[in-house]
């Protein structure tokens, strides 16, 4: 089987070999032994900086064509086993210069539209599972009424305007971990939840590892219920 980073896999193998490797793996994890319904998240990033997608190793290639080919192989293998996948990290972590696990990431001066090319290709091929939105700030796509610097994961312009509007993605939008430094150092829990839902996120992902709380799920649910009762527009978003 293949091991190592996406970049090393793309260097040492081919999309067909990558498919064969994940075909067997996906079949195993879908088996009665484990019974998973969703496996992993193929990176849709293209590294355009030395750090992009964690030093470039978290992405298959700087070529959007190559990225899409390996992602498609991953998707096909998992679909054959009855598993869903999630593309990450929209709109592209490949031009980042810092790590969103640790803190604020500004791609305003480095991001380019070509980072959307793999998504365009895969959507044109009929992909409609999940897209994971990254905590990536771009001043051109972060309008807010209170002046907050909204990362893509909390930005209606990125999620509704670009992902759902321009790219016509009709699948499920999932956030990257909302406890990562890029979020928790900028927004409190209540603000994070409300902004994510307002932006168009369908699944709010919390690892519950930054400061473990056995009550986190109940706290999140409580915020959602309270906001829904106070705001009919918000209620429609969580019921959609």
Active site residues: 101, 176
Give the E-state strand segments of the chain in sequence order.
86-90, 130-133, 172-175
Task: Give 234 or 54, the one with higher predicted confidence.
Answer: 234
pTM: 0.84
**pLDDT value for 34:** 41
**Positive or negative CA dihedral for 169, 72, 30, 131?**
negative
**pLDDT value for 24:** 63
**pLDDT value for 53:** 47
Q: What is the DSSP string of 67-119?
A: HHHHHHHHHHHHHHTT-B-EEEEET-STT-SS-TTTS--B-TTT--GGGGHHH
Element at 52 (helix H, strand E): helix 52-55
Percent of the residues in the chain that have a pLDDT greater than 70, as a whole number: 77
Q: From residue 210, how far is each of 101, 206, 216 by CA, in Å?
A: 10, 9, 11
Six-digit token string for 141? 């796509």
**pLDDT value for 51:** 46
CB 159 within 8 A of CB 133: yes
**pLDDT value for 29:** 57
Sequence-ordered list of residues with C-beta below 8 angstroms from that of 221, at least 6 positions apart, any chain: none
Q: Which residues of 28-40 are buried (b: 16+ CB within 10 A; e: fewer)?
A: ebbeeeeebeebb
- pLDDT (tens digit, 9 = 90+) per residue, 177-186? 999 999 999 9
- pLDDT (tens digit, 9 = 90+) per residue, 21-77? 666 666 655 554 444 454 456 667 765 544 444 434 567 677 888 889 988 988 998
175 pLDDT band, cuts 50/70/90, is: very high
Six-digit token string for 59? 């992405």
């Amino acid at each position: 089987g293949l091991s190592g980073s996406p970049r090393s896999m793309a260097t040492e193998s081919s999309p067909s070999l990558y498919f064969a490797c994940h075909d067997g793996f996906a079949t195993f994890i879908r088996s009665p032994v484990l019974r998973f319904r969703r496996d992993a998240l193929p990176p849709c990033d293209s590294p355009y900086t030395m750090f992009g997608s964690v030093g470039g190793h978290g992405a298959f290639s700087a070529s959007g064509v190559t990225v899409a080919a390996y992602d498609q192989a991953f998707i096909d293998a998992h679909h054959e086993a009855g598993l869903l996948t999630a593309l990450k990290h929209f709109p592209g972590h490949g031009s980042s210069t810092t790590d969103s696990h640790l803190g604020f990431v500004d791609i305003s001066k480095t991001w380019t539209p070509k980072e959307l090319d793999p998504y365009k290709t895969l959507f044109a091929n009929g992909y409609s599972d999940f897209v994971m939105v990254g905590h990536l700030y771009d001043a051109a796509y972060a309008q807010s009424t209170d002046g907050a610097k909204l990362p893509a994961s909390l930005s209606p312009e990125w999620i509704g305007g670009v992902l759902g509007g321009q790219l016509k993605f009709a699948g499920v939008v999932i956030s990257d971990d909302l406890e990562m430094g890029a979020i928790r150092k900028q927004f409190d829990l209540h603000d994070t939840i409300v902004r994510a839902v307002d932006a168009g996120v369908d699944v709010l992902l919390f690892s519950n590892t930054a400061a473990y709380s056995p009550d986190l799920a109940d706290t999140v649910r409580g915020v959602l219920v309270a906001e829904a009762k106070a705001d009919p527009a918000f209620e429609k978003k969580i019921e959609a």
